[in-house]
Amino acid sequence: MDKKTKKRIIQRLLTGGICFWSLIIVITLAVNVYSQDLKIKAQAQKPDISSFDIKKVKEIYEVKCALCHGFSGEGNGPAANYLFPKPRDFVLGVYKFRTTESGELPTDEDLFKVIKKGVPDTEMPGWYFLGDDEIRHLVDFIKTFSEDFAEEEKPQPIKVGKGIPITPESIKTGKEVYNKVKCWECHGKEGLGDGPKSDELKDDLENKIIPNNLTFKWTYKVGSTPRDIYITFSTGLNGTPMPSYIDSLSEKERWHLANYVSSLVNKESVK
């Protein structure tokens, strides 16, 4: 092979290499531009939570809530007849799980917590994957089902003071309070939910109610800490036979009672 031929081959190889790498660079740039374009389009399609309108919130409700609570919020969704306990009727404006006084409406934070975390030992799931703004808009939408929210003053949570340390003495006093106010009639002597009245309990809508087995942590709807239980004793559960003891028991008695009931499930915390 003469020098002239070799030179031609080398030139072609160099030219081909330059073209190859030029092509790679062009493809890489094109891919990057395309990816950026897709990213921009995706961001444009992502809903702006802060600007949700009533139509968008209604869509969330119809997809996530209406199956149980009904499209009109009356607790009569397609699945309602198959659930125990029955879904909440939002039109009545009667809510069990609250931090407000007996008979009052819940705070927005109460509703937010139920939607976010769900209700243990029921079919109400926690909607953790919804954004906080979505849930707050959903709270506002649910409140439109009942005129009470528009007519009454903004509900306020009860004041919860400092608790009493869990000691054998406090638990003993709490057990005495438990018997004094006849918690055992529904929840049983040992808190097993087998009291003499346990089979005859109904809510205000005549739906059957089963009292909690207080020894099972997962039956506590709003938490099993003394503070959680103290709040339940102080607020009661609207629409059910579970009363508020805020007028019939002193603050100390309610704390002792909460410590005793908490000890039934949180035995490891009692030394």
Chain segment 229-256, per-residue pLDDT in tens:
999 999 999 999 999 999 999 999 999 9
Position 156 pLDDT exceeds 60: yes
Whether 17 shows a pLDDT value over 60: the answer reads no
Average pLDDT, integer, range 6-14: 44
Q: What percent of the chain has pLDDT over 70?
A: 79
What kind of architecture, by CATH, is found in domain 50-151? Orthogonal Bundle (1.10)
Fold of 168-269: Cytochrome Bc1 Complex; Chain D, domain 2 (1.10.760)
Return the pLDDT at 266: 64
Is the pLDDT at 226 greater than 60? The verdict is yes
Report, as an integer, the average pLDDT of 86-100: 97
**Residues 103-108: what's their mean pLDDT?**
97
Could you tell me the pTM of the whole model? 0.78
Q: What is the reported pLDDT for 152?
A: 86
How far is the C-alpha of 152 from the C-alpha of 243, rounded, in Å? 22
Average pLDDT of the chain is 84
For residue 46, pLDDT over 80 is answered with: no
